[in-house]
Chain A
């Protein structure tokens, strides 16, 4: 096979993709079936959101960003290295005992550091702008759901592109306008302190897939401060990996770099799948992994039925749903078909996104108080139907089954 001929789809890649999908589906199904899920988001919802953003940046965002933005940094570094080498050679000629060699690391730490400082600053400002924009747009859960699904598809497409599954996936990569890339390229030739700062700021024009998902989350906060904080946490998280890999990049060699890129592609694939799934939850779709698994697999318990609270029904007090930091309990409520009832949403020091309660089919969404009870009127539903409810992020889910 000649060098430039595309290899057919690697069967190992297909198997890997299949395993990833199945593993995530099983993982979500197992977590949902156990009401005592380990909660890592105790405490303030704001802090947990920022922590999740930071961890996302630390684990996957750094490598994903490096794949897209690393070239900008490398351009500046390469010129710096060439400059250093030229100086060494010139020095070697006048001092013949000195052996000239490329000082790969001696001056690369500072430009990388400056690059990252500028990138963090630029993305924080972008986060603030997105949050401000989000406060005016007031995205409804349905719009947010479609946004998540679109972003999820975009991430899946990018991951499949990185796996080189099919040429069609090339089109999931965003090509910046030529005047921007030309400007960035010509600016990268500078070796002064300002150039890496300037290049770092310009990375906002070429966000990687994970960054774009975080930008959508910043838009969804509807708050300038929260949007800025989210992007700050995320880009801070990306920085250690970015710094280390960029610093060692000349030592990695092509084989290790290929391994990193495949790892990034696998993680982007998982994130894309999870994002799409969250969008489906927010739409109240029975096709999301949680809803599908709940419908197909028997639950370990956690039902509340109308018969369990017959007296409360008689007193028109309705059924109760505990809204806790780690989700909704019980996850499945059985109710009688054909009659209205009241659903009591009870919070008690609840700060996570579970407070942002949504019933997509009824177009009901409300931010619940952190402690208290909110009553929701549920109109009569047909026998055999299901109403799904979720948090505004599509993460915590549950259902009401009418019998």
Chain B
């Protein structure tokens, strides 16, 4: 398991953070996601054997946001 931080500069409210955190229920390989509207970032703990950074960025894009590896 590894932990990485992604910047998500286009969050506009706390609801956006909740939407991103929902990925922990749907994305295979993710153990935990903590998204913060205040910091405009999400910290994700995931299994690097099941999931890549590009896949995470793609899934965040499907939610309507731009994720940038910090």
Chain A residues close to B by CB (< 8 Å): 3-6, 67-68, 70-71, 75, 164, 167, 170-171, 173-176, 178, 181-182, 184-186, 189, 206
Contact = CB atoms under 8 A, between A and B. Distances in A.
Closest 7 CB pairs of A and B: A71-B15, A4-B9, A4-B66, A181-B18, A175-B14, A170-B38, A185-B22
Contacts of A164: 12
A167 B36 CA distance: 13
B39 to A, nearest CB: 9
A181 B37 contact: no
Contacts of B4: none
B17 interface: yes
Interface-centre pick from A170, A171, A174, A206 (highest chain B CB count, 10 A):
A170
A82 to B, nearest CB: 12
A52 B50 CA distance: 56
B13 A173 contact: yes
Nearest to B15: A71
Contacts of A6: 9
Contacts, number: 49
A75 B36 CA distance: 19
B21 A185 contact: yes
Contacts of A167: 40
B10 A3 contact: yes
A269 B40 CA distance: 24
Interface of B: 9-10, 12-15, 17-19, 21-22, 25, 34, 36-38, 40, 66, 68
B66 to A, nearest CB: 5
A171 B19 CA distance: 19
A6 B40 CA distance: 12
B17 A175 contact: yes
Nearest to A184: B18
A287 to B, nearest CB: 31
A181 B35 CA distance: 11
A178 B34 contact: yes
Contacts of A175: 14, 17, 36-38
Contact of B18 (A5, A71, A174, A189): A71
A4 B36 CA distance: 17
Given A4-B10, A71-B18, A176-B14, 7 more contacts: A67-B13, A68-B15, A170-B37, A170-B38, A175-B36, A175-B38, A185-B18
B45 to A, nearest CB: 13
Contact of A3 (B18, B21, B34, B66): B66
Contacts of A178: 21, 34
Contacts of A186: 25
18 contacts: A4-B68, A5-B9, A67-B13, A71-B15, A71-B18, A164-B12, A173-B14, A173-B37, A174-B14, A175-B14, A175-B17, A175-B37, A176-B14, A178-B34, A184-B18, A185-B21, A189-B25, A206-B14
